[in-house]
Amino acid sequence: MKQDGQPVQKNASWKPEAEVLAWIEQYRNSSEDDLNTMLMNQKNEAFKTQIHQLKSLKKNAKKWPFLLQCPEIILPHGLNQEQSSSELTARYKAALFDGQRFCDLTTGMGMDAYWIGRNFKEVVLCEPNAELAAITSHNMAVLGLEQARLFAKWHAEEWLQDAAEEMDLIYLDPSRRNQLGAKTFFIEDYEPRLNELWPMLLKYGKRIMFKTSPLLDIHRCLQMLKPIHEVHIISVENECRELVFVYERGRESETQFIAAHYHQEQWTRSTFTPSEEENAEVEYSPPLTFIYEPNASLLKAGAFKWTAAHFGLKKLHAHTHLYTAKTFVPHFQGRVFRCLQICKIESKALKQFLPEMKGNLSIRNFPGRTEDLRKKLGIRDGGHHYLFACTLQQDEKRLLICTKVELAKDNII
């Protein structure tokens, strides 16, 4: 007999009493030190619980800002919080799909499930950990995801074997830690193992979306799981946060790479295919007036030749992923610098152009570590100059002395 799961529901015993709710509102903006002092002096267990919850909410205020207005929410322990998607990236994924039926086979804390589930009329959640399942059921009810049914203490494999029904979207965010708690880096070591579940996922999911670590080898994953129609490389303020892979039944197309970057409160996206990257024609040049550094999503996506062709730039070297042009490209997706000087990688040569010997140093296609080179050259960190130790067209090792182009301030000609 097919299982239906249980409707999500609030745990009435977890709802703070009116006195506690009033306290939360009064001390919501207290510092962590003040909350720690209150915790030491507080004997009432209900208040202690809420102090711990308030500390967690404040610690994660930037990650989940919407939860600050939800005093009935219960946050699970730290590792579950750490592995959960941020509100920002959960909203990004939610914007990709809507429909009738959605299933999250690895619900966890439920951030992705909540934001994606709002776009569907029926929601199925699976969570094998009984304690976490109880917390998630309560939170989904508090947040108003009343169309959700929860399969508590169910693994993804069990649902696919014993309760599965066709879904418009199946979502997975596999655990990237093994039984000893160590991080894993290969798709076949994730839990659940997507490579083993893939045939059943294709059977029941009209669309499949799964999230992985940004460290995953994208092309290796594409070889193991076929077909994949989209790979979203998601970065926030130039830090790659997630890789999201998408399958759509009946879609016949080459895999699209979507390099999505959130910067200054807006998303930018670049879309290309592996064949476009392979066939892009690239010109090489010594450093010109402007130096262009692609954002983290473009770099992780491997859009090395495509970036040059798409934005009309020249590369410094085949394996140096810095680009150059005489003119400013306003729609470039990454950081832009003015190249002030090119010098040999020697302290004496550098001091002629940078007497204060202070700058933000990084290396591109250059041997060794940034910190070792900084010590060798005697450069102090910080300041307004950006220094790139890199390999140029004829395999020359050079240091580019630059300043960052601030678009609102710099007079671009």
pLDDT band at 1 (very low <50, low <70, confident <90, very high): very low
pLDDT band at 407 (very low <50, low <70, confident <90, very high): low
- 173 and 238 in a single domain? The answer is yes
Taking the C-alpha atoms of residue 124 and residue 322, their distance in angstroms, rounded to an integer, is: 46
Instruction: Report the C-alpha gap between 71 and 20 in whole angstroms.
Output: 10
pLDDT given at position 82: 83
Joined tokens for residue 178:
């093994």
Choice among 23-27, 253-257, 367-371 with the minimum mean pLDDT: 23-27
Segment 186-213 mean pLDDT: 95
Q: What's the whole-number mean pLDDT along residues 282-304?
A: 98
The answer to whether residue 391 scores a pLDDT higher than 80 is yes
Domain shared by 248 and 385, yes or no: no
pLDDT band at 33 (very low <50, low <70, confident <90, very high): confident
* Among 27-31, 153-157, 396-400, the least confident range: 27-31
Mind listing the pLDDT tens digit for each residue in 81-120? 888 999 999 999 999 999 999 999 999 999 999 999 999 9
Same domain, 98 and 244: yes
Please check whether residues 165 and 229 belong to one and the same domain: yes
- 249 and 115 both lie in a single domain: yes
Question: Mean pLDDT for the chain?
Answer: 91
The verdict on 388 and 340 lying in the same domain is yes
- Find the domain containing 66 and state its range: 17-71
Q: Looking at the domain assignment, is residue 7 inside a domain? A: no
Shared-domain flag, residues 88 and 34:
no
* 137: exposed, middle or buried (Cβ count in 10 Å: 0-12, 13-18, 19+): buried
Are 109 and 201 members of one domain? yes
Nearest alpha-carbon partner for 325 in 340, 315, 310, 335: 315
pLDDT in tens, 46-88: 667 777 777 777 788 889 988 877 878 888 877 788 889 999 9
| Whether pLDDT at 138 is above 80 | yes
What is the arithmetic mean of pLDDT over 313-334? 97
Res. 24 pLDDT band, cuts 50 70 90: low
- Judge whether 2 lies within some domain: no
Q: Are residues 53 and 163 in the same domain?
A: no
Is residue 316, in this structure, part of any structural domain at all? yes
359 domain-assigned: yes
- Same domain assignment for residues 221 and 370: no
Binning pLDDT at 50, 70 and 90, where does residue 273 land? very high
User: What CATH number does residue 153 fall under?
Assistant: 3.40.50.150
**39-44: average pLDDT:** 70
Identify whether residues 131 and 224 lie together within a single domain.
yes
Q: How far apart are alpha carbons 4 and 396 in whole angstroms? A: 66
Asked if the model's pLDDT at residue 311 lies above 50, the reply is: yes
Does residue 42 surpass a pLDDT of 50? Answer: yes
User: How many whole angstroms separate alpha carbon 263 and alpha carbon 282?
Assistant: 27
Q: What is the pLDDT of residue 411?
A: 45
Which pLDDT score, from 0 to 100, does residue 346 have? 94
Residue 246 placed within a domain = yes
pLDDT exceeds 70 at position 410: no
At residue 413, the pLDDT reads 41
Burial class (CB in 10 A: 0-12, 13-18, 19+), 360: middle
**194 pLDDT higher than 50:** yes
- Is the Cβ–Cβ distance between 343 and 401 less than 8 Å? yes
- Name the residue with higher pLDDT: 406 or 402: 402
Q: Most confidently modeled of 11-15, 124-128, 174-178?
A: 124-128
Determine, yes or no, domain membership for 55: yes
Above pLDDT 70, what percent of the chain? 91
Q: What is the pLDDT of residues 210-246, one digit of tens each?
A: 999 999 999 999 999 999 999 999 999 999 999 999 9
Q: Is the pLDDT of residue 180 over 70?
A: no
pLDDT band per the 50, 70, 90 thresholds, residue 2:
low
Residue 13: is it exposed, middle or buried by C-beta count within 10 angstroms (0-12/13-18/19+)?
A: exposed
Backbone conformation region of residue 176, classed left if phi is above 0, alpha if psi is from -120 to 50, else beta: alpha
Does 273 fall in a domain?
Answer: no
pLDDT at 30 over 80: no
Q: Which pLDDT value is given to residue 409? A: 44
Residues 171, 103 contacting (CB under 8 angstroms): yes
